[in-house]
Amino acid sequence: MSVISPQLTIVLAVAVPLIGAVLIWMSHGRPNQREAVSLMTAGILFAFVASLLPGVLDGDRPAAVLWEILPGLPLAFRVEPLGLLFALVASFLWIVTTVYSIGYMRGHREANQTRFYICFAIALSSTMGIAFAGNMFTLFVFYEVLTLSTYPLVTHAGTREAKRGGRVYLGVLLGTSIGFLLLAVVWTWSLTGTLDFREGGILRDAASPPIIGALFALYVFGIGKAAIMPFHRWLPAAMVAPTPVSALLHAVAVVKAGVFTVLKVSIYIFGIDLLAEIPVTEWLAYVAGATILIASLVALAQDNLKLRLAYSTVSQLSYVILGALLANPLGVVGGAMHIVMHAFGKITLFFCAGAIIVATHKTRVSEMHGLGRTMPLTMTAFFIGSLSVIGLPPMGGLWSKWYLALGTLDAGQIGLLAVLMLSSLLNLAYLLPITILAFFGTPDKDLPDGGIREAPPACVAALLLTALGCLVLFVYPEPLYQLTGLIIPNQD
């Protein structure tokens, strides 16, 4: 890998999933070959992304320009710590999700599996484009490609319900990005003459505080993938998709692309010093806080397991947004760390939900009675993922919430600290009862007496691996903190 320049590595990181998509298409009718290609592509992508880590830790910021669309407006890439963090998480979890998908799609006898793997690969290519975007124009292009490439995944089942969910998915995401985000991008260009991501931002002294505030609000609400209320409906609507797609939406690509973009815009378009000075930042922080609490309360009322997890994701995403809106280094570190911690915790929970569907065809929390005796590995992993999302030791989710809490204190926002604490209690209320029902509830009559009935081995292996990741992130968070600490230099 060392013989390849960092510039070429960046381009290959975007291109490899596309090449994989072509090879998957050529493997149609040969499932073993198709799945082998998917796994190899995911592994190669992660290797390319990981090879960039030593240089970035040493201070390198490799860049590559594909072509200049207009004078001063190139389609360009630049690797910095936040983007590399997102790319590492997405590329690694693509490997795990591919393993899981093999077990799930075969075990559930899903149709159109080749199309599924093709769209998955295209989505990961666009995710790499978002992670390594060198300017807001490049990010916007790949942001839209991600929306379009995941639409067929949401509507995969082809049912009326799936098509209705797909319409909501596409309507909200395209509506916010074209109605708000594109306007914000054009407005930024008119004010500054550039869309480049720069340390400290590009908007200082570009306009009056009210104009800057209005522009920032357009960005926050225009990034619909971040699912801040009231632009969150697409996420629960997309739960009609197969569980591996839910994992993609919640942990690998889509929602993480949203909150990543909010962080990126906050740091490199506006700059946290400027955000700390404008009044709109504070009221947007309260909007994020309201999303955290309201979505948690809605999750508490859901009996459908995937819907409960979906509203949990809506809540957890606003933790990252809140980290950006605290406009201090501790908040940024906490928000960036939460992208990783939530990814491992929530993908574990969705993997478990899918495993339950494959093994028992149960979809409701009220049907979980005694399930832990039949599926002990799955429900143990669910317990581990729950602890991480709640933010309890010994799981990695503790650290991101720790830094977010420190960020609220540094910003003097005691009310937002209370939101974080109350939200964690609500996380406890809607997640832990599922495990309690599973291990201590009276088994339903349709469950087998004794014996184990787990999902296919590929599904179980994947969910155990991500559950282990939750524990590793608690015990060994230093590499993650080292990378997030570089996002805003000289934060000490």
CB atoms within 10 A of CB 448: 11
Q: Is the pTM of this model over 0.85?
A: yes
Q: What's the confidence (pLDDT) of residue 111? A: 72
Q: What's the confidence (pLDDT) of residue 193? A: 92
Q: How far apart are CA 183 and CA 231, in angstroms?
A: 17
Q: What's the confidence (pLDDT) of residue 4? A: 85
**Do residues 127 and 253 lie in contact, with contact meaning Cβ atoms separated by under 8 Å?**
yes
Residue appearing with tokens 């298409």: 25
Q: How far apart are CA 375 and CA 352, in angstroms?
A: 10
Spans of the chain, pLDDT less than 70? 1-2, 107-108, 249-250, 445-451, 490-492
CA 147 to mean position of chain CA atoms: 14
Q: What's the confidence (pLDDT) of residue 129? A: 96
Q: What's the confidence (pLDDT) of residue 363? A: 87
Q: What's the confidence (pLDDT) of residue 491? A: 47
145-172 per-residue burial string, b: 16 or more CB within 10 A, e: under 16: bbbebbbbbbbbbeeeebeebbebbbeb
Q: Is 303 helix (H, G, I), strand (E, B) or coil?
A: coil
Phi-psi sector, 68: left (phi>0), alpha (psi -120 to 50), beta: beta
Q: What's the confidence (pLDDT) of residue 492? A: 43
Q: How far apart are CA 353 and CA 374, in angstroms?
A: 14
Q: Is 276 helix (H, G, I), strand (E, B) or coil?
A: coil
Q: How far apart are CA 259 and CA 318, in angstroms?
A: 8
Q: What's the confidence (pLDDT) of residue 447? A: 60
The DSSP call for residue 86 is H
